[in-house]
């Protein structure tokens, strides 16, 4: 399986950044996003896979082959650094053909140039120098340069972070389209969960050089398994409770979950799963709106009642129901929205009746 990546007990320290016995697997043809805050060691991980950093411990296997001791040029990886690093002294054409030239595969250059210029829409840029390209154009050229040498896997280091919001979404979709066309296993580094949701087949959440959780974007978003994960994906409603089977006591309230647990737990509920109504409903909690916060595509209602909860409402819903600070609301929590995980060292310190969710 040429595109499979297996990282085993990887440990390395580079300046302030380190990886601590990180183990990870990607499937062939997968678009895999490594997600985490700045300083989590994501780039170090990518550079270990590319062979630019030698790990102190552990192994890197690409396509089942142990490449830990191989130099970068023998690993068949395509690497797209955050700043693209297009060779400034070479034209776009020369940048695209560079890998084939040094690998003495000159005869392939014309066909590859035509193919990737067409796939990436950069045919009109071939004679330009990199300093005459926009951010998005640079990125496409860098991508073409990496793809032209037929890599077994692609490594993308925060490829969208230097772009403006509109370009970011368009280029993000392009990255996914190109991945789907080429089928090359891709590892993409990101600190942006929204970007991850758009692109990833699976996500590895990392923090301080350690793996926190692996799953589909939906799993990471709906079922975070630690307080860090819940906060990173902005679950916002993070409450401490005690579980007995599927029933969880949170303060004076009992919630029901689809998952079963025992003992001290954390409960997370995404604001967009909390249904806010201005009229009484039988299976809803009554609460008072204590704050309203405008967000990109709607409003967050911070409420206080038997539980301190934040609900998210769309702009149209907000206008229709006429929410305002001090008004009463009824909050309904669908069964599937209540996520539970065992309380560890990073469970919420606040009692649920405190100001936790505000």
Partner 1 sequence: MSTRPRSLPAADRMFRTVFGGTLGLAVLVIVGILGGMAAYVDWPRYVRWAVTTPDGHAFLAQVWWSVRLSFVTSIAATFLALVVAIPAAYALSRFRYPFPLVVDTILDLPIVLPPLVAGVALLTVMRYWLGPLFDSLGIQIHYTARGIVIAQLFIAAPFAVRAIKAAFDDISPRYEEVSRTLGCTPFQAFYHVGLPLARHGILAGTIMTWARAVSEFGPILIFCTASEKTAVLPIRVFLFNSAGDVAGGVVTSVILILMAAAALLGFKLLGGSRLSL
Binding residues vs partner 1 (CB under 8 A): 47, 50-52, 71-73, 75, 77-79, 81, 83, 85, 87-89, 98-99, 102-103, 145-146, 149
Neighbour tally for 102: CB within 10 Å = 10
302 and 357 in contact (C-beta within 8 Å)?
yes
Nearer to partner 1, 102 or 244 (CB): 102
The distance of closest approach from Cβ of residue 328 to partner 1 in the complex, given in angstroms and rounded to an integer, is 57
Nearer to partner 1, 3 or 78 (CB): 78
The distance of closest approach from Cβ of residue 52 to partner 1 in the complex, given in angstroms and rounded to an integer, is 5
**Rounded alpha-carbon distances, angstroms, from residue 295 to 82, 180, 299:** 28, 32, 5
The distance of closest approach from Cβ of residue 331 to partner 1 in the complex, given in angstroms and rounded to an integer, is 50
267 and 255 in contact (C-beta within 8 Å)?
yes
Nearer to partner 1, 126 or 342 (CB): 126
The distance of closest approach from Cβ of residue 185 to partner 1 in the complex, given in angstroms and rounded to an integer, is 15
- Backbone dihedral region for residue 79 (phi beyond 0: left; psi -120 to 50: alpha; all else: beta): beta
| Burial of 77 per CB tally in 10 Å (0-12, 13-18, 19+) | buried
The distance of closest approach from Cβ of residue 178 to partner 1 in the complex, given in angstroms and rounded to an integer, is 18
The pair of three-digit structure tokens given for residue 293, joined into one six-digit string: 């916060």
The distance of closest approach from Cβ of residue 38 to partner 1 in the complex, given in angstroms and rounded to an integer, is 18
Nearer to partner 1, 145 or 222 (CB): 145
Nearer to partner 1, 113 or 205 (CB): 113
Spatial strand order of the sheet with 339-342 comes to 237-250, 253-269, 339-342
Q: Are strands 57-62 and 5-14 parallel, antiparallel or unpaired?
A: antiparallel
196 and 217 in contact (C-beta within 8 Å)?
yes
Nearer to partner 1, 175 or 276 (CB): 175
The distance of closest approach from Cβ of residue 11 to partner 1 in the complex, given in angstroms and rounded to an integer, is 19
Nearer to partner 1, 90 or 342 (CB): 90
Nearer to partner 1, 87 or 127 (CB): 87
**φ and ψ at 154, to 5 degrees?**
-110, 135
268 and 237 in contact (C-beta within 8 Å)?
yes
The distance of closest approach from Cβ of residue 131 to partner 1 in the complex, given in angstroms and rounded to an integer, is 13
| Burial of 154 per CB tally in 10 Å (0-12, 13-18, 19+) | buried
How big, in percent rounded to 5, are the helix, strand and coil portions of the chain?
30, 35, 35
The DSSP secondary-structure symbol of 316 reads: H
């Amino acid at each position: 399986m040429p595109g499979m990546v297996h990282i085993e007990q990887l440990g390395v320290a580079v300046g302030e950044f380190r990886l601590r016995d990180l183990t990870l697997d990607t499937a062939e043809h997968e678009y895999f996003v490594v997600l985490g805050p700045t300083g989590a060691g994501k780039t170090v991980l990518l550079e270990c896979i590319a062979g630019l950093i030698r790990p102190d411990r552990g192994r890197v296997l690409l396509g089942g082959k142990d490449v830990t001791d191989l130099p970068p040029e023998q690993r068949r990886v395509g690497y797209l650094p955050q700043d693209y690093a297009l060779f400034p002294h070479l034209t776009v054409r020369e940048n695209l053909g560079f890998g084939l030239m040094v690998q003495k595969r000159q005869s392939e250059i014309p066909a590859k140039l035509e193919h990737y210029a067409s796939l990436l829409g950069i045919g009109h840029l071939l004679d330009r120098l990199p300093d005459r390209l926009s951010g998005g154009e640079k990125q496409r050229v860098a991508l073409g340069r990496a793809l032209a040498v037929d890599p077994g896997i692609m490594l993308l280091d925060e490829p969208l972070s230097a772009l403006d919001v509109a370009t970011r979404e368009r280029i993000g979709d392009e990255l996914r389209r190109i991945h789907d066309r080429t089928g090359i296993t891709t590892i993409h580094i990101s600190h942006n969960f929204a970007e991850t949701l758009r692109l990833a087949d699976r996500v590895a959440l990392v923090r301080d050089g350690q793996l926190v959780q692996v799953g589909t974007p939906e799993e990471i978003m709906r079922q975070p398994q630690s307080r860090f994960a819940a906060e990173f994906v902005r679950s916002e409603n993070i409450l401490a409770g005690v579980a007995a089977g599927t029933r969880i006591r949170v303060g004076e309230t009992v919630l029901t979950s689809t998952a079963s647990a025992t003992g001290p737990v954390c409960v997370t509920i995404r604001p967009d799963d909390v249904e806010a109504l201005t009229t009484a409903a039988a299976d809803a909690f009554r609460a008072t709106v204590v704050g309203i916060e405008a967000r990109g595509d709607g409003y967050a209602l911070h409420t206080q009642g038997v539980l301190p909860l934040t609900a998210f409402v769309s702009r149209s819903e907000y206008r229709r129901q006429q929410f305002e600070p001090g008004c009463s609301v009824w909050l309904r929590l669908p069964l599937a929205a209540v996520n539970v995980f065992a309380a560890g060292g990073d469970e919420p310190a606040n009692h649920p009746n405190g100001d936790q969710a505000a």
